[in-house]
Amino acid sequence: MKVARYSHDGQVSFGIVDENYLIQLKGHPLVNQYETTGERVLLSQVKLLAPTLPSKVVCVGKNYGAHITELGLAASAEPTLFFKPNSAIIGHGDAIVLPPQSSQVEVEVELAVVIGQLTKNVGVENALSAVWGYTVANDVTARDLQFTDDQWARSKAFDTFCPLGPWIETDWVPASQRIWSEISGGVAQDATVDQMIHGVAQIVSYVSQNMTLLPGDVILTGTPAGITKFDSGQTVSCGIDGVGVLSNPVVA
């Protein structure tokens, strides 16, 4: 099931994607158990929004071996965690704004895990039961600032640096699906999600051992190799087979 959050006629709603239509839901699906209003609206007539408004976006770094190599970093035995602020979140079709502080902003396609229930100290064997679904993320990064600053907060946190969407896929199961990014049609990254060093269950369990996860929270699971600079006027697309394609124009 694909669950979208959207704006239509001045109203923000959740809906179930049914081919070219959205079936409107009553309130938040995690609260109202997917109860519908009976209203249907064409996808082409709505503005898709970020599919969740999390209390936090937890990010996992250095989770693909080839990406570790291209950055010249050392692998870690445990997942490397950092955060993106809520103010960085945008949806499908929203513009990524290049900050004047950076001259090297790059794409990082990532599988995003959306949490469906309060989760604390969950074991690996039960971790997937805490997952509501999956969406696509772009962990936009000011690469020059990442390596001049003592830590990664600023390089990852600019407004518009966390595109999420286009919707949440609740029935998808991580396996060997393709994960990729393109810049104005040219392939930048191309890998499969089974190349992650730490899998989804391990990541959710690990994060929950260190902080409480709330319904709607997002965990970004790391990016594959091929990180590439993009510029104003281009369009950045990030996709995961079976989940969807997230596209954003770039402006100065």
pLDDT tens column, 29-73: 999 999 999 999 999 999 999 999 999 999 999 999 899 999 888
Same domain, 143 and 20: no
Same domain, 133 and 35: no
Same domain, 62 and 43: no
The two counts, helices (H) then strands (E), for the chain are 5, 19
pLDDT at res. 71: 84
Residue 74: pLDDT band (50, 70, 90) is confident
Distance between CA atoms of residues 189 and 206, nearest Å: 27
Same domain, 38 and 109: no
Interval 106-113 mean pLDDT: 98
Please, what is the average pLDDT of the chain? 97
Model confidence over 198-243: pLDDT tens digits? 999 999 999 999 999 999 999 999 999 999 999 999 999 999 999 9
Residue 77 has pLDDT above 90, yes or no: no
Same domain, 36 and 115: no
Residue 132 has pLDDT above 90, yes or no: yes
Same domain, 18 and 34: yes
Task: List the CATH number of the domain containing 186.
Answer: 3.90.850.10
Residue that is written with structure tokens 């990524």 in the block = 96
Same domain, 67 and 169: yes
Task: List the CATH number of the domain containing 14.
Answer: 2.30.30.370
- Across 64-173, the runs of DSSP E, i.e. the strands, are 80-84, 89-90, 96-97, 105-106, 109-115, 131-138, 141-142, 162-169
**For residue 120, what are its two tokens?**
């604390």
Phi, psi of 195 (to 5 degrees): -85, 0
Model confidence over 159-183: pLDDT tens digits? 999 999 999 999 999 999 999 999 9
Residue 75: pLDDT band (50, 70, 90) is confident
Residue 121 has pLDDT above 90, yes or no: yes
Q: Are 242 and 172 in contact (CB under 8 A)?
A: yes
Same domain, 15 and 63: no
Domain boundary pick from 17, 32, 49 = 49
pLDDT at res. 34: 96
Greatest Cα pair distance, the chain, in angstroms, is 53
Same domain, 45 and 132: no
Closest to 180 (Cα-Cα) out of 172, 167, 191: 191
The string of DSSP codes covering 178-192 is EEEEEETTEEEEEEE
Closest to 163 (Cα-Cα) out of 92, 112, 99: 92
Residue partners of 10: CB distance under 8 A and separation at least 6: none
Same domain, 206 and 111: yes
Residue 119: pLDDT band (50, 70, 90) is very high
Same domain, 139 and 194: yes
Same domain, 42 and 102: no
Interval 128-157 mean pLDDT: 97
Structural domain boundaries, residue 100: 57-251
- How many structural domains is the chain composed of? 2
Distance between CA atoms of residues 217 and 214, nearest Å: 6
* AA identity, residue 155: S
